[in-house]
Amino acid sequence: MPTTKDRVMYAADTAKPYVGRAIYDAEFRDSLRAAFTAARAIYEELSRQRGVGSIATSVATDEDIHGNLRRAVKELRQAADRIQAREQKKSHTFRNVMLILTGVAIGVFFNPLTGPKARRLVTRRNGSSDGYAPTSANGSA
């Protein structure tokens, strides 16, 4: 059974990337600050009222509270999305270029019109006259 120290170390290791992003990501901090500001405005408006009934009525009918609540939720979602981002989007340019080049090569080599000439050209440039790569005396390439 894991000890308390093991659980704390595991929790710290798990939280470390999130804390790092929170420290260095200005957009995350801005979203969190805006959400806090909107929540504070809601709190200040509701704290002036007495009784659960009047507070509930204000929450249900006051458009300022609705707007601040929507803003707080939106900002918190943005902050959560920023901090949970695992990796930046990777560029797939190299992969896409290789796929296109492979497709073109397959098209050239297996096309009935250009294929035989292209295959002969490649085998000639590789130094093989019979269409196969030269082998050593023991049969390996």
Q: How many CB atoms lie within 10 A of CB 94?
A: 8
Whole-number Å distance between alpha carbons of 49 and 60 = 14
Give the pLDDT of the chain (141 residues) as one tens digit per residue.
778 888 888 888 887 877 777 778 888 888 888 888 988 888 888 888 888 888 888 888 888 888 888 888 888 888 888 777 654 556 778 888 888 888 777 777 777 777 788 878 878 887 755 555 555 555 555
Domain boundaries, the chain: 4-84, 93-125
For residue 38, what are its two tokens?
């909107």
Angle between helices 63-84 and 26-47 (to 10 degrees): 150
pLDDT in tens, 23-52: 788 888 888 888 889 888 888 888 888 888
Q: Which of 134, 133, 131, 35 is nearest to 80 (CA)?
A: 35
Measured CA angle at 117 (ends 112, 119), to 5 deg: 90
pTM above threshold 0.85: no
